[in-house]
Amino acid sequence: MQTNLAQWARESDLGQEADAILRRCVHCGFCQATCPTYQVLGDELDSPRGRIYLIKEVLEGKEPTRATQQHLDRCLTCRNCETTCPSGVQYGHLVDIGRQIVEEKVERPRMERVQRLLLRKGLTSSLFAPAYKLGQAVRGLLPASLQRKMLAKRDVGVIPHTAGQTRQILILSGCVQPTMMPTIDAATIRVLNAIGIGTQVVAGAGCCGALNFHLDDQSAALDQMRVNIDAWLPLIESGKIEAIVMNASGCGAMVAEYAHHLRHDAVYLPRAEIIVAHVRDIAQIVAPHAELLRTKIDPALLPERPVFHPPCTLQHWQGLRPLSEQLMEKLGMRLQPFTESHLCCGSAGAYSVLQPEISKSLRDRKLERLNEAQPDVMMSSNIGCIGHLQSGTDTPVRHWVEVVDAALVT
């Protein structure tokens, strides 16, 4: 694609980066076929090709409008288009740049600014845990739709002391997962312990930065990344820790791109590169030990008709498909096939709150496809997808590591 950038764009780092990405796009439109928002809305401007064109126009000097902003907002950042694109267009990085530039030029309505601020501050606040627990306590009094969103409190079970294991890895303490689904971290610790790997949580590290980054506060997100790097790096450099395990693929995808996000920070870029080299999805850690783990599993405790929904942040961002599926099969699960497994479930971070209609439509479509397999359990590997899918079904939705943990012979 030919471009004719405005002077301000030609002279800025972001403009030049965006230009290099834009030039790879040949406008073929293959990406339209796999874009969830285009499938739902049928508007070219809510497709990857349309959004690329909007960003190009802004870089060429056209003033963005509120409509431009809304078309970019409606993108789930699922990166399905990247998987499909034959020209290697890095749409995800381009839309980040486009959003940042449009955000500076177009002021959002007051209510929207307040909503985004509340989401950014609320979900990462120390008050989130007590507020969520209060909601769980009165869950039975809430309307059915809210009851499903406010997941029932589940017993985390006994968490083993794993400090004695020779191999040690770091586990992300995260922001919402320990409060909303503490069973995922507990299951991760037990499953890793079963294959001889101990886990540690580092004080000082926190949210990976994804929430702030995707809610228009990229500067706060970069600060969170630096804080995490400062907390993790000494342990990695000491040689006591061999990896950082991610059991939420949304966080994993974000941390795996720390070096990209900190590319203009001469001090933190080399540090971020070390962190990125040590980030592993939980499936990457467990897969080499599948045979050993299988000997510790009672097959009778595994579900009979499980399905696995691969999160976009696992399959399209990190390109890790079908590692998790292969691992589950090796552990003795018979995964049931279903159609449209490449398509987003509509969760996408805060998207389900900011774009509830599109999000619900995609969730219901995903559940329809999953239900075609008549599953007794639906599995995934990202807390956002798990909670979002569970809000629309009575079939249990779990992280796969919880399902494996429940089948461990103690």
The window from 44-52, 208-216, 218-226, 242-250 that contacts ligand SF4 (CB under 6 A) reads: 44-52
Give backbone dihedrals phi and psi of 239, rounded to 5 degrees, phi first: 85, 5
Rounded CA separation 115/201 (Å):
31
Rounded CA separation 321/310 (Å):
8
Q: Which of residues 64-83 bind ligand SF4 (CB under 6 A)?
A: 75-81
Rounded CA separation 390/396 (Å):
7
Exposure pattern of 383-408 as b/e (b: 16+ CB <10 Å)?
A: bbbbbbbbbbbebebbbbbbbbbbbb
Residue at token pair 């600014």:
113
Per CB under 6 A, the list member of 5, 9, 15, 36 interacting with ligand SF4 is 36
As measured in angstroms, the least distance from the Cβ of 56 to ligand SF4 is: 11
As measured in angstroms, the least distance from the Cβ of 274 to ligand SF4 is: 29
Provide the mask over 99-138, with x wherever binding to ligand SF4 is found by CB under 6 A and - wherever it is not. Answer: ----------------------------------------
As measured in angstroms, the least distance from the Cβ of 29 to ligand SF4 is: 5
* Residue type present at position 268: Y
Rounded CA separation 346/356 (Å):
9
The reply to whether 48 sits near ligand SF4 by the rule CB under 6 A is yes
As measured in angstroms, the least distance from the Cβ of 228 to ligand SF4 is: 25
The reply to whether 33 sits near ligand SF4 by the rule CB under 6 A is no
The window from 31-39, 55-63, 174-182, 267-275 that contacts ligand SF4 (CB under 6 A) reads: 31-39
Q: Residue 46 or 217: which CB sits closer to ligand SF4?
A: 46
As measured in angstroms, the least distance from the Cβ of 237 to ligand SF4 is: 35
The reply to whether 85 sits near ligand SF4 by the rule CB under 6 A is yes
The reply to whether 39 sits near ligand SF4 by the rule CB under 6 A is no
Rounded CA separation 290/328 (Å):
9
Q: Residue 199 or 380: which CB sits closer to ligand SF4?
A: 380
Q: How many residues bind ligand SF4 (CB under 6 A)?
A: 25
Q: Residue 54 or 286: which CB sits closer to ligand SF4?
A: 54
Q: Which of residues 87-106 bind ligand SF4 (CB under 6 A)?
A: 87, 89, 91
The window from 26-34, 283-291, 298-306, 323-331 that contacts ligand SF4 (CB under 6 A) reads: 26-34
Give contact residues for ligand SF4 (rule: CB under 6 A). 25-31, 35-37, 48-49, 51, 75-81, 84-85, 87, 89, 91
